[in-house]
Amino acid sequence: MSGRVFLFGDDIDTDQLAPGQYMKGGIAALAAHCLEGVRPDFAGSVASGDVVVAGKNFGMGSSREQAAEALKHLGVAGVVALSFAGIFYRNAINLGLPVLTAPSLADLADGERVTLDLDTGRLERAGEKPALPLDPLPDNLKALLADGGLVPHLKKRFAQERQKEQGR
Amino acid sequence: MTASPTTLAQKIVARAAGRASVAPGEIVTARVDLAMIHDSGGPRRVEPILQDLGVGLFDASKVVLISDHFVPGDTDEGARILELTRQWAAQRKVAFHDGEGICHVVLPERGHLAPGMLVVGGDSHSPTGGAFGAYMFGVGATEMAGVLATGEIWLKVPETILIEWRGRLSDGVTAKDIMLALCGRLGMDGGKYQAVEYTGEAIAALSMQERMTLSNMAAELGGQAGLIAPDEVTAAFLREAGSDPAGWGDWRGLRTDPGAPLMEHHVFAAGELAPQVAAPHSPANSGPVDDAPQTKVDVAYLGACTGAKYQDLANAARILKGRRVASGVELLVAPASRRDQDRAARDGIMAVLEDAGAKLLPNACGICAGYGSARLGEDVTCISSTARNFKGRMGAASSKVWLGSPLTVAASAVAGRITDPRPMLTEGAGGTA
């Protein structure tokens, strides 16, 4: 599924992704205010398949996983950044939101059409532009994403363990 | 064969992963010695996931629950969340500290930590546990639910960034100043999710509560953990907290060997460090307080896990003794734990703060986490002893938060503007400031 690039700078923090004052409204209400401090039109215009592209240290700050959940709720296909804050990175994978680092963002432009391809580990670009290579994900994280996140992954694991128990 | 030199982080992770040794970059699955959760990201978020998975806790004796975010429960929502938290603690039979203070401070003061442990916390400032030689880091609620269900977590064996402070800090300069200087020099992704380890004479000379501030704010450097090798100071603190060194194993061996692989090694001269402040809206916007404009402040906040422990309150009292908060400035104090507040009361510190005009808030995260009735209003300028000054975090998006040490916060409250605490220390109590 293809979408547009939403381009951001460095150090996008969790208070921007999931502003504290909207926490009590539930994920839909919270997502409606996602990133409004840096880009007021974001939640209103982002659509399924769009890709958030950012500079260094995306998701710094709090451990609140609503920061990743809000992006997923808005249909974001994934986040490509030069680097991620560790807890956000783990939260995103655990919630099934692809997050990939890129050695460089080349000349990616805001609004250009792209497709995040997890199989090839590349961000395909429309037109004649060469695809942007992304750093490969470790195998354990690929498995988590393939299952749709940690909860479905654990369900699968527990089911397998129960089957093994019964098979004995 | 002699084992190759390894870092403190490698030693802890190897043991938790059941391995003789691990190499940086390897992905391992580790057994968790302890899981800490609080009222905000804890029961209300993890229980529905545990239900969905159809499993219970991996080991209730290895789970500690602390209420601190919604304390004192003065809103309908806060009261409801606290009630749910209390019910869960009783049902799941876990250790529970209710309204006793901020999780990062209560966990060690109640003897739950020991050197060499691998600990996961449901809060981003969980690296605080590293001050005790534990590899402790924060995770979100879904990952915490996974830990509670399995007792396991995956880790990429971290590289270590060694931060060495040689010499001794001057009077008036504290752990918070060290951290703000590091945030400014290394940046908020300076840690790149590695293990940050603090070492050197200046670190060894710090009290445990000062060390906790360093480890805590490894989160602000982008580190996964913030470690300090355990020593006699660590042992004395934990012994007093009720933890028995007999159960700690070879804790004296928990240190980075000479020649261990380091990703970076930074050396700083402690004696040259001046008090620091960080301008809005990032801890990385830091510099010496004397270089900062003498910004007028409306609110001075002594709070949070990095700014309202006993030591922090005692530091503030050194400035506030015999002085008054400037007119038009509100000094808010939220002692980090009830135990620290009681000790400060016994020592006359709370009386000094109150005589100076401080307004007391509950032992909780309070406005650092953006909660409570004291949240900052429109256009308010605050000097705060907290760890983080992101835009809008402590209140209105138009509010501005400067970070400083408890000494700097107290001095700024007295002066009504951001100021260097050192002259007030030399003038002594109630000088002509």
Would you state the pLDDT for residue B264? 96
Would you state the pLDDT for residue B2? 60
Q: Cβ of B189 and A85 within 8 Å?
A: yes
Would you state the pLDDT for residue B431? 54
Comparing CB atoms, the residue among A24, A89, A150 nearest residue B142 is: A150
Please tell me whether residue B146 adopts helix, strand or coil conformation.
Answer: helix
Q: Contact B371/B78 with Cβ under 8 angstroms?
A: yes
d(CA B211, CA A16): 30
Model confidence over B335-354: pLDDT tens digits?
Answer: 999 999 999 999 999 999 99
Beta strands per DSSP E along B99-151: 118-121, 135-138
B98 interfacial to chain A (CB closer than 8 Å): no
DSSP track, B398-423: T-EEEE--HHHHHHHHHHSB---SHH
Would you state the pLDDT for residue B189? 82
Comparing CB atoms, the residue among A61, A89, A151 nearest residue B142 is: A151
HSE toward the beta carbon, residue A106, CA cutoff 13 A: 15
Polymer length of chain B: 433
Q: Contact B333/B358 with Cβ under 8 angstroms?
A: yes
Chain A residue whose CA is closest to B372: A21
H helices of B230-359, where?
Answer: 232-240, 310-320, 338-346, 349-355
Would you state the pLDDT for residue B433? 42
Comparing CB atoms, the residue among A15, A62, A138 nearest residue B391 is: A15
B156 interfacial to chain A (CB closer than 8 Å): yes
User: Which residues are paired to B227 by β-bridges?
Assistant: B197
Model confidence over B25-53: pLDDT tens digits?
Answer: 999 999 999 999 999 999 999 999 999 99
Q: Are strands A113-117 and A2-7 parallel, antiparallel or unpaired?
A: antiparallel
Model confidence over A83-129: pLDDT tens digits?
Answer: 999 999 999 999 999 999 999 999 999 999 999 999 899 999 999 99
Q: Are strands A113-117 and A99-101 parallel, antiparallel or unpaired?
A: unpaired
Mean pLDDT of B186-199: 89
Structure tokens at A63: 């451990």
CA distance A36 to chain B (A): 11
Residues of chain A neighbouring B28 (CB-CB closer than 8 A): none
Residues of chain B neighbouring A151 (CB-CB closer than 8 A): 49, 52-53, 142, 145-146
pTM score: 0.95
Structure tokens at B332: 């808010």
Model confidence over B380-410: pLDDT tens digits?
Answer: 999 999 999 988 889 998 999 999 999 999 9
Whether the pLDDT of residue B313 is over 60: the answer is yes
ipTM score above 0.85: yes
Q: Cβ of A158 and B54 within 8 Å?
A: yes
Residues of chain A neighbouring B52 (CB-CB closer than 8 A): 151, 155
